[in-house]
Amino acid sequence: MTCRTIHPSGAHPLFFLCSQEGRIRNVIDDNERETDFSEDEYEETDKPKRGRRIALIVVALLLLLVVGGAGGVALFVAQALQPVEPSAQEVRITIPQGASSLQIAKLLEEQGLIRSATIFRYYLKLEGQGSRFQAGEYSMTPGMTLDQMIGKLNDGDIVKEEVIRVTIPEGFTVQQIADKLGEDTPWRAETFLQEVDTPSRFQASALTGFPESQDLRHKLEGYLFPETYEFKKGASEQEFIERTLQELDKKLGTLPADWPDKLKQRGLTLHQLLTVASLIEREVVVDEERPLVAGVIYNRLAQKMPLQIDATVQYLFDKPKERLLEKDLQISSPYNTYLNPGLPPGPIASPSLASIQAALYPAETKYLFYVTKKDGSQAHLFAETYEQHKKNIAASKKMTP
């Protein structure tokens, strides 16, 4: 009798299958020993037995295929559950909002992160996973285990989007903002300045009634609200400006409801209000003094006195000077409030909300003058008369930090 061993997919032997020829020979020998039928009688008697033997062989072969197939399936599943070949190459995969576990499995398979979407899906069901997966862009690497990927998807460990973050300090001029953008962001200072001087490209409530004046050094000076902003990578200079204008609209919306009435009472436009606020911003450090300086500005305007604010002259320079000289005060410019009465043509910086509020609600005083204390406090001494102002100047010079 000849036999052979069958090894399904390299596993341990499952069956020993003997050849049909040997089995039949043994049966015939046994029959010859037990009886002495004639040839015709033997053929008639043996037909049903032969049929049963063939049926048994067929069943055995089918069982072999089933068992062997089961072994192959088990091996396939075991391999499918293993990580793919490791690689240091990052793979980005985006999970859409509302994606099913089957869709996610297919995405992972397409990106070469898992071996089988079908097996991964059944693994999720077996482990009770897949219901907490979060949408977003994920960074994965080939070689991660299924559990590691599941953990990432459950935790929403998405790729942190690259952003452009920029802070505009209170009191910055357009030129200072341009310099900062050129140094700290991918944006170009030249492009920013071109956009700033084209206000018609922007839609903001604050720009309603924007004056058409050739005297403005930069058209949107004072309208770019000082704040910290974040933008997606690839945003443009125009988008930055649009956002700062929207922020100004938003901040104006937080003012008391009567603020438009206050403007009318003073006969001011929003542009002029922002101009006064910018003067306050550049002149004042101590918050409590903002309404006082605002009062001085309005008192001098009412008496048609030149404002004589150093900050308006400093605005004429790209970089402020440490100390203004007498010749600087003689520079011919509509912004020079030593030579020209009234307000300058427009704001000289981006005012804070506190300065805008002070410009709307100034302190009611008779002060016409103020001088900075020399004690390092950056506070001021205020006076109603010029004689008192001269005394304050003398007193200030005696102060030491």
Say if residue 361 is in the same domain as residue 286. yes
Q: Is residue 9 one of the residues assigned to a domain? A: no
Say if residue 207 is in the same domain as residue 104. no
Q: Rounded to 5 degrees, what angle do the CA atoms 35, 39, 40 make? A: 110
Say if residue 236 is in the same domain as residue 304. no
Instruction: Show the domain range for 116.
Output: 91-155
Say if residue 248 is in the same domain as residue 299. no
Say if residue 275 is in the same domain as residue 386. yes
Domain end among 253, 274, 305 = 253
- Tell me the pLDDT tens digit for each residue of 5-39: 334 334 333 333 333 434 434 433 444 444 443 44
Long-range contacts of 363-370 (CB under 8 A, 24+ apart): 363/291, 363/292, 363/294, 363/295, 364/295, 365/292, 365/295, 365/296, 365/299, 366/299, 367/292, 367/295, 367/296, 367/299, 368/296, 368/299, 368/300, 368/303, 368/305, 369/296, 370/292, 370/293, 370/296
Q: Is residue 74 one of the residues assigned to a domain? A: no
Which domain CATH number covers 141? 3.30.1490.480
Q: Is residue 59 one of the residues assigned to a domain? A: no
Distance CA 323, CA 372 (A): 13
Cβ-based neighbours of 256, under 8 Å, separated by 6 or more: none
Regions in the chain scoring below 50 on pLDDT: 1-42
Say if residue 341 is in the same domain as residue 286. yes
Q: Is 389 exposed, middle or buried (0-12, 13-18, 19+ CB in 10 A)?
A: middle
- Tell me the pLDDT tens digit for each residue of 326-361: 999 999 999 999 999 999 999 999 999 999 999 999
Note the pLDDT of residue 30.
46
Distance CA 192, CA 23 (A): 95
Say if residue 272 is in the same domain as residue 390. yes
Q: Is residue 186 one of the residues assigned to a domain? A: yes
Q: Is residue 86 one of the residues assigned to a domain? A: no
Q: Is residue 201 one of the residues assigned to a domain? A: yes
Say if residue 391 is in the same domain as residue 283. yes
Say if residue 322 is in the same domain as residue 352. yes
Domain end among 253, 283, 306 = 253
Say if residue 314 is in the same domain as residue 346. yes
Domain end among 136, 155, 174 = 155
Coil, helix or strand for 328?
Answer: helix
Q: Report how many domains make up the chain.
A: 3
Coil, helix or strand for 160?
Answer: coil
Name residue 401's amino acid.
P
Q: Is residue 200 one of the residues assigned to a domain? A: yes
Say if residue 238 is in the same domain as residue 296. no
Element (H, E) at 93: strand 91-95
Say if residue 318 is in the same domain as residue 357. yes
pTM of the model: 0.66
Q: Is residue 389 one of the residues assigned to a domain? A: yes
> DSSP characters for 249-277?
HHHHTTS-TTHHHHHHHHT--HHHHHHHH
Note the pLDDT of residue 45.
52
